[in-house]
Amino acid sequence: MKKRGLQNALGSARALLVIVQFTLSSVVCAQHDPWAADKAFLREIFNQSLADGKAYPWLRDLCYGAGHRLSGSPGAEKAVRWAKAVLDTCGLDSVWLQPVLVPRWERGAPEVVEVLGTAKRKNLRLNALALGGSVGTGGKPVVGEVIEVRSWEALDTLGAKTIAGKIVFYNRPMECRHVNTFEAYGGAVDQRVNGPSRAAKYGAIGVLVRSMGLALDDYPHTGSLRYDSAYALIPSAAISTKAAEQLSTLLAKETGVRVSMTLNCRTLPDVLSYNVIGEIRGSKEPDKVILVGGHLDSWDVGHGAHDDGAGCVQSMEVLYLLRRLGYRPRYTLRCVLFMNEENGLRGGLTYANAADEKEELHLFALESDAGGFTPRGFSFDADPEMMDYYYDQVQQFEELLRPYGLLLWRGGSGADISPLRRQKGLLAGLRPDSQRYFDFHHTAADVFEAVHPRELQLGAASMAALVYLIDKYGL
Amino acid sequence: MKKRGLQNALGSARALLVIVQFTLSSVVCAQHDPWAADKAFLREIFNQSLADGKAYPWLRDLCYGAGHRLSGSPGAEKAVRWAKAVLDTCGLDSVWLQPVLVPRWERGAPEVVEVLGTAKRKNLRLNALALGGSVGTGGKPVVGEVIEVRSWEALDTLGAKTIAGKIVFYNRPMECRHVNTFEAYGGAVDQRVNGPSRAAKYGAIGVLVRSMGLALDDYPHTGSLRYDSAYALIPSAAISTKAAEQLSTLLAKETGVRVSMTLNCRTLPDVLSYNVIGEIRGSKEPDKVILVGGHLDSWDVGHGAHDDGAGCVQSMEVLYLLRRLGYRPRYTLRCVLFMNEENGLRGGLTYANAADEKEELHLFALESDAGGFTPRGFSFDADPEMMDYYYDQVQQFEELLRPYGLLLWRGGSGADISPLRRQKGLLAGLRPDSQRYFDFHHTAADVFEAVHPRELQLGAASMAALVYLIDKYGL
C-alpha cells in the first residue's frame, strides 16, 4: 500500500519534472539562466550560515551542556531536553519526542590494561577503553598470555590449540593508502566488531584491538562489538595505536608476554529515551517528507562533537535557515535527531517502523554523520530499482553545488536513515573531508574545540542547499 | 626569439596532441580504457605519498632545524643549506643554488602597543606585530590619539583635518561570507598593504591594522606593507582580531583614546641569499621545463609551516616521488624553492629573468603556496591569448583527478611563478581547502603541528599527478 503510494507519487513527480525540464530548456534557448533564482537563494543560504550560523554556538551548548551522551546516560537525557528546547525556539510547525527503548551499557570505573612486568622490566600500562557492549571482568583482572593476530586466516590457523586460555590482540592497522579514510575504517573495523566472538570461538579469554585510527597517538578509540551468542562473551578493549605498536614490539622480542585486563563495564536493562523531531509542514504535499538528521547519542568519552553533535546541529540549522530565509517548502521538512546510533540503532529502527505504520512517505532523507569538516559533497543511495532514476535527477544540481566545492556521487548514506531505504525514496549522506575524522572518532579527543566553525557551518549550508533544491524540483 | 621558440614548441605539442587524441579515440572505440595506465600510475603516486611520504618528515626537519626564515635571516640561511642537502639525496640530475640579493628587515626587540590608561582604567596591552618593512619608532614610543577607519571613503572624508598627528586604526574585517577565504583576504589586505601611506598622506603618525584573519583570537598577523615614497614612512603594526574588537569597543565608549606604539624594527642593507633548485633532465625535450615550487622564506614568527614550508616540501616530493617510481620525464622537471616571496619577490623575479636569458622555456609551472591542507584542485592561469587552448587541454585530466577529490578551474597561480607568465606557458596553483589557512597565516601559530600529515601528503601526490599528466601528454 505505502509502496504503491510512493510510486504513484514518483510518477507524478516525474511528469512534473518533464514539464520543468521542458520549461528550463525553453528558457535556456532564450539565453536566460534558468537557475538564476536558485543561485541567488543558495548564496543567501551560505551567507546566512557563515555570517550568523547557529550550528556552531549550538554545538558549544550541546558539548558543554550535555557532554558525552551514550544511550541511556544522564548526558543523553540532557541532550534530548536541550535539543527539544532549541527546536522549540526555531519557529517550526511542530516539535516532539518519539519514545525509543534503548540499551544501557556502562563503562564503570576506568579500565586498567597492562602488560605484566618481568625480572627485566616493569609493568607497562596500555591506554585502553573497553569496547562498547563488552562484558566486564567481574571485579578482578583477566590475565593471560597475548597472541598477536593480523588476519582472520592467521587466527584460524592458530586455532584453539594456540588460542585457548589466551588474550588475542588484533593488530591489523587501518590501510593508510586509502584517500577516503572511511574506506580504511571499513577495512579494519571487522576486528573490533567480530574479533571478540571469533577469538572466543577458539577459547580466548579476552581481546585487545588496535584502535581504529590512522594517527599514531595515545588515544584509544572505543566503539561497539557484536557478540555471537554461540560463543563465550569475553572482555574486550581497544588500545591506542601507540600502545599497539609498543605491545607488538614487545611481542617480537619476548615470548610469553602476559597482559592483565580489568574492565568494569556492564549492561543494564533497557531504558526509555527519545528521538527528537521537529518539522515545517509542507505547503503543497505535506504527507511527503524530506528528512535531515544526525544522531544525538555518542560514545561516553570526549564530547561526541564530530560524532555526531555536528550532524545534529547541522540538521537543526537546515530547518532554522530555511525558515529564517522565508522559504515555504512544498514537502514536509523534518529534522530528526536519532537516539542510539552507536550501540543499537534503535532510534533509526523505531523511526522507520513508525513512518511505515503512519504511511509517511520519505521522498528524501539526508544524514550527516561523518564529522563537522569542510563538506566535499553528497553520496546517494536508494533501492536498486530506483537508483539510476534518482541519480539522473540529482546530477542536474551539481552545476549549482560545485561552486561551493560540492560534488555528487553514488555511495552510502547514513546508518540511522538506512531502514527507510525500503520506502524506495532517495537517501544521501553529507560527505565532509575525511582526513582528520579518525583522529577523533570515538575518543576523548572528540571535543568541541576539534570542530572548526566555518567547516561546520559550510556543512549546514550545504545540506540546506540540497534540501532546498530537492524540495523545489522534486524527485 | 624565446617567444617564437615556445610557439614553435607549442605547435609541435599541438600536432602531437592531435595524434594522441586520435589514438585515444580509436582505443576508446575498442572498449579499452585509454587511461588505464595513467590511472594505475596515479594510484601508485598516491600510495607512495600516503604510505611512505617524505614531505611530512622533511617539514618537521625544516621547521625544527631552520625555524622561521625571513629573507636574510640566519633561519633562511639554514633553510637554504638544508634544502640543498636534502635535494642532493633525492637522486636528481642536478641541484644548485641561484644567487638572489634580498632585502633584510629585522623586527628587533618585541613591539609594545598599548592603549594608555585613564583615571578610570589601566593601560591595555594589545597583541601586536610590526608589519614587515615598517620603520621603527626610533627607540621611543610614538603616542597619539586613535582614529578608527572602516573604509577608504571614511579615511578620505576625515582627511588631514582629523587625521594629522593621529594613529589610524584600520578595522574593516575580512568578509566571512566568502566560501574561499582567499577572497576574504583579497578584500581586506589592501588595508595592510596600502594603509600606512594612505594614512601618512593625511599626516598620520602611525597605523594599526586589524589582523588578516577570520577567527577571533589573540594572534596578530604580520605581512608586508608597501610605502609610497611620496609620503612619510610611518610605523605600522597589526593587532590581533580580539585586540581590534577591544579597541573598537573602547573607541565607541570613550573619546580621545590614546595609543603608544614602540616598534624596534629596521631595514638593513640587502644581503645575498639563494633560490634552491633541483631537476631531473627531460629524456626527450630537456630544454623545456616543467616547474614545481614554493617559497623557502617565511615571516619571522612561528615555523612558516603552512606558509610555505608545506609548498617547499611538497615540491621537493614531486621530484622525489616521480624519480622513486622510475618515471622518465619527457621534459625537464624542476623543483624551485624561491627565496623572498614574502617581502620582495626577488627570488621569483631573479629566476624568471635568468630563464629568459638562458632561453629556458617553461611549458608549465605549478606553485603550492596556499597551505598544507587537503587539496581541492588546481587553478590555472596563462597569457590570455593562450588560456583557452591550455584550459581545454588540461580539462581532459579532470576525469583522472576527480577520484582524488581534485577539480580544475581558472584562477590565479602563485606569486613566485607569476613573472614566468610572459613566456606564455601554463601556470597553476595547488588549491588546498582554505577554511583554516587564515587561522595560521603570518602568525606564531603557523607551526609544524598545525599541518596534518595526510593532508600535506595528499597535496604532494596531487601535484605529482598533475605534473606527470602534463609531462606525459604535453600541452
CA angle B340, B341, B342 (to 5 degrees): 90
Which residues of A fall within a CB distance of 8 Å from B176? 50-51, 454
Burial class (CB in 10 A: 0-12, 13-18, 19+), A51: exposed
Indicate yes or no: CB of A436 within 8 angstroms of CB of B458. Answer: no
Which has the closest alpha carbon to B344: B405, B275, B291, B421?
B275
A217: contact with B, CB 8 A cutoff: no
Secondary structure of residue B115 in the 3-state scheme = strand
Indicate yes or no: CB of B454 within 8 angstroms of CB of A176. Answer: yes
Domain ranges for chain B: 2-103+269-473, 108-264
- The residue ranges of chain B whose pLDDT is under 50 are 1-7, 9-11, 13-30
A405: contact with B, CB 8 A cutoff: yes
DSSP B361-405: EEEEEEE--S-SSPEEEEEEE--HHHHHHHHHHHHTTHHHHGGGT
Report the residue of A374, A408, A439 to disrupt the B interface, i.e. the one with the largest count of B CBs within 10 Å. Answer: A374
pTM of the model: 0.93
Q: Which three cell numbers stand for residue B57?
A: 618528515
Secondary structure of residue A337 in the 3-state scheme = strand
**Does residue A10 register a pLDDT over 50?**
no
DSSP A198-212: HHHTTT-SEEEEE-S
Q: Which one of B46, B176, B215 has the shortest CB-CB distance to A50?
A: B176
**Does residue A28 register a pLDDT over 50?**
no
Q: Express each pLDDT in A186-238 by its tens digit.
A: 999 999 999 999 999 999 999 999 999 999 999 999 999 999 999 999 999 99
DSSP annotation of B395 reads H
Report the residue of B182, B321, B433 to disrupt the A interface, i.e. the one with the largest count of A CBs within 10 Å. Answer: B433
Contact between residue B142 and residue B220 where contact means Cβ atoms under 8 Å apart: no
B288: contact with A, CB 8 A cutoff: no
| Lowest-confidence pick of A69-78, A320-329, B29-38, B462-471 | B29-38
**Does residue A24 register a pLDDT over 50?**
no
- The CATH code that applies to domain A108-264 is 3.50.30.30
CA–CA distance from B308 to each of A380, B101, B292, B304, B340 (Å)? 37, 20, 13, 6, 11
Q: Express each pLDDT in A145-165 by its tens digit.
A: 999 999 999 999 999 999 999
How many contacts (CB atoms, under 8 Å) link A and B? 57
Indicate yes or no: CB of B50 within 8 angstroms of CB of A177. Answer: yes
Q: Which CATH superfamily is domain A2-103+269-473 in?
A: Zn peptidases (3.40.630.10)
The whole-angstrom separation of Cα B38 and Cα A102 is 51
Contact between residue B261 and residue B136 where contact means Cβ atoms under 8 Å apart: no
Q: Which one of A46, A433, A452 has the shortest CB-CB distance to B179?
A: A46
User: Who wins on pLDDT, B20 or A386?
Assistant: A386
At residue A31 the predicted structure's pLDDT band, cuts being 50, 70 and 90, is: low
Contact between residue A212 and residue A469 where contact means Cβ atoms under 8 Å apart: no
Q: Is the peptide bond before B392 cis (omega within 30 degrees of 0)?
A: no
Indicate yes or no: CB of A50 within 8 angstroms of CB of B177. Answer: yes
The whole-angstrom separation of Cα A338 and Cα B8 is 64
pLDDT number for residue B1: 36
B160: contact with A, CB 8 A cutoff: no
What ipTM does the predicted assembly reach?
Answer: 0.93
Q: Which three cell numbers stand for residue A417?
A: 536513515
Which has the closest alpha carbon to A322: A107, A48, A39?
A48
Q: Which one of B176, B435, B453 has the shortest CB-CB distance to A374?
A: B435
Burial class (CB in 10 A: 0-12, 13-18, 19+), A18: exposed
Which has the closest alpha carbon to B70: B233, B295, B368?
B295
Q: Which three cell numbers stand for residue B327?
A: 618515471
Q: Is the peptide bond before B308 cis (omega within 30 degrees of 0)?
A: yes
At residue A32 the predicted structure's pLDDT band, cuts being 50, 70 and 90, is: confident
The whole-angstrom separation of Cα A310 and Cα A70 is 16
Indicate yes or no: CB of B177 within 8 angstroms of CB of A452. Answer: no
The whole-angstrom separation of Cα A296 and Cα A310 is 9
CA angle B274, B275, B278 (to 5 degrees): 130
Name the residue with cell 554556538. A57
Share of chain A above pLDDT 70, in %: 93
Indicate yes or no: CB of A176 within 8 angstroms of CB of B435. Answer: no
DSSP annotation of A420 reads G
Contact between residue B239 and residue B259 where contact means Cβ atoms under 8 Å apart: no
Which has the closest alpha carbon to B442: B27, B130, B171?
B130
The whole-angstrom separation of Cα A248 and Cα A271 is 40
Report the residue of A435, A455, A458 to disrupt the B interface, i.e. the one with the largest count of B CBs within 10 Å. Answer: A435
**Does residue A22 register a pLDDT over 50?**
no
Secondary structure of residue B382 in the 3-state scheme = coil
Distance from CA of B233 to the nearest CA of A (A): 36
Q: What is the mean pLDDT of residues A247-254?
A: 98
Mean pLDDT of the residues in chain A = 94
Q: Which three cell numbers stand for residue A243?
A: 600502545
- Residue in B111, B285, B341, B342 annotated catalytic: B341
pLDDT number for residue B32: 86
pLDDT number for residue B284: 98
Q: Express each pLDDT in B1-14 by its tens digit.
A: 344 444 454 445 44
Indicate yes or no: CB of A435 within 8 angstroms of CB of B374. Answer: yes
pLDDT number for residue A210: 98
Name the phi and psi angles at B37, rounded to 5: -65, -40
The whole-angstrom separation of Cα B276 and Cα B296 is 8
Which residues of A fall within a CB distance of 8 Å from B177? 46-47, 50-51
Mean pLDDT of the residues in chain B = 94
The whole-angstrom separation of Cα A288 and Cα A330 is 9
Q: What is the mean pLDDT of residues A135-139?
A: 97
Q: Express each pLDDT in B77-105 by its tens digit.
A: 999 999 999 999 999 999 999 999 999 99
**H/E element holding A426?**
strand A426-432
pLDDT number for residue B12: 52
